[in-house]
Amino acid sequence: MNKVIILNGPNLNLLGEREKNQYGSVTLGNIEKKCKEFGEKNNLSVSFYQSNIEGELVEKIQSSRNEFKGIIINAGGYTHTSVAIHDALKIVKIPIIELHISNIYNREEFRHKSLISRVATGVICASGTLGQIIPPSIVLIILADQLSNAADVANNMRRAEYREATGQGVMPSEFEVVSASAVSYTHLT
């Protein structure tokens, strides 16, 4: 089973309470539950970690380098200020997804600069907590060469979205992903 860790930085423990217009009303606990459920259905072990302390995040990044196949990180405010987190991420030799629940480029100018982006494999700026729910699939896509079940995971996600969007139980075959190397994630809605 492949292991992924989702790291959350300062103030993300207050999701559901803070700036609901930016972040929505879903709590970090709800997001963790959904990500772990996704992992269980797709042979992916998902670990969650949150800290308001920069040094604790650095230590978790360092200790993750030999245990996990990928890191998803929402460093919160440290995205824009932490050279230490940047340097720790630079050391690990596994895929890194930088995640933001909101679009940082539609916010205050000081949030437009990320010290993490240069060391990340990919960046996701989402609208609301959706960005916290789908990243394990993105890591699977990045790891497609190493994961034999990447196409299956993508198809399971597409089928669920198709059912939700159309109310129909069977997704047409033209929406199926046939090769892990061709996996991409797009919303059907």
| Positions marked active-site | 23, 100
Helix or strand run (H / E) with residue 46: strand 44-50
Structure tokens belonging to residue 133: 């729910």
Give long-range contacts, CB 8 A cutoff, 24+ apart: 20-29: 22/101, 22/102, 22/107, 23/101, 23/102, 23/128, 23/129, 24/101, 24/128, 24/129, 26/128, 26/129, 26/132, 28/132
The residues, ordered by sequence, that sit 6+ positions from 12 with a Cβ below 8 Å of its Cβ are 28, 50, 74, 76
Amino acid at 154: A
Half-sphere CA count of 99, side-chain side, radius 13 A: 29
Asked if residues 101 and 129 have their Cβ atoms less than 8 Å apart, the reply is yes
Amino acid at 81: T
